[in-house]
Amino acid sequence: MYTGVDLQRAITDFGNQLFDDPDVIKQTFSHIHKMKKEFGNGYGLINLGCLNPESGEFTLPAKKGLETFWLDRESTGEFFTGEAASKILESINFDDCPPSHEIFVLLGFLDRGAEVKNDRYLTATQSAFVRDPFKIKPSSITEKQIEKRLRRMHSQGIRLLVLDTSNPDYMGKNLAKWLRVLKRLAQQGDKHFSIMVNSSEEHPSEIPQDLKDYSCTINFT
């Protein structure tokens, strides 16, 4: 028969897989940014639902998969009552959350069956500090390094570049450096590239004023 230890282990295993998936984390944080802007500070709660003892997997409560709720102390008591609310809040250490991180809490349940007279329903949580991928600073790169990289790409036959600023950890403030080097190489007459700058409303591209005449904007909705 499954125990509270089994439930805790299942939550830990699920969390390890979840937080190691960069695509899921970026999608989750994109949602959190909107919630945080609307409701203020809090934490992200992911309800895994009930653990199925036969499969060892959670039956997610939402039909469309994982859902992340943005809660604070007050709203926790509105969404959950009794043991669940207490376990959630006890698992959170608001004071020690590092900069550029958010607190996540994974919540899971276990129904041990009607034959269990005491503690039939078990609740377990696990909290984690997860780094915000949109606050990761891009690596520092010099114009000389960019020029060397561009010359190598040009020699390999690459003529189209996509500079992505929609995720700051990809390009960030380095965009201006890339554009200035590209312009300089083009003016030298032997190194020409076609450039696409991918950005988002949340993280728009920062094109220097003196380079805007060399670009046009296309919005996809």
Rg, the chain, Cα only: 24
In angstroms, the CA 21 to CA 38 distance is: 26
Q: For position 167, what pLDDT does the model report?
A: 65
Question: Alpha carbon of 116 to those of 18, 59, 69, 109: distances in Å?
Answer: 32, 21, 31, 15
Do residues 43 and 101 make contact, with C-beta atoms less than 8 angstroms apart?
no
Q: What is the pLDDT of residues 37-93, one digit of tens each?
A: 999 999 999 989 888 877 888 887 766 677 889 999 999 999 888 778 998 999 999
In angstroms, the CA 42 to CA 115 distance is: 39
Q: What is the pLDDT of residues 79-132, one digit of tens each?
A: 888 778 998 999 999 988 988 899 999 999 888 877 877 878 888 999 999 989
H helix or E strand, kind and range, residue 54: none
Give me 55's structure tokens. Answer: 């499969």
Q: Where does the chain have alpha helices with state H?
A: 4-19, 22-39, 73-79, 82-90, 143-155, 175-187
Q: What is the pLDDT of residues 166-193, one digit of tens each?
A: 766 567 678 888 888 988 888 887 778 8
Q: For position 139, what pLDDT does the model report?
A: 67
Do residues 150 and 191 make contact, with C-beta atoms less than 8 angstroms apart?
yes
Q: Is the pTM of this model over 0.85?
A: no
H helix or E strand, kind and range, residue 125: strand 121-131
Give me 207's structure tokens. Answer: 């094109």
Q: How far is Cα of residue 122 from the mean position of the Cα atoms in its chain? A: 29
In angstroms, the CA 216 to CA 127 distance is: 45
The values of phi and psi at residue 155, to 5°, are -65, -25
Q: For position 21, what pLDDT does the model report?
A: 86
Provide the 10 A C-beta neighbour count for residue 106.
25
- The answer on pLDDT for 136 being more than 80 is no
Provide the 10 A C-beta neighbour count for residue 154.
15
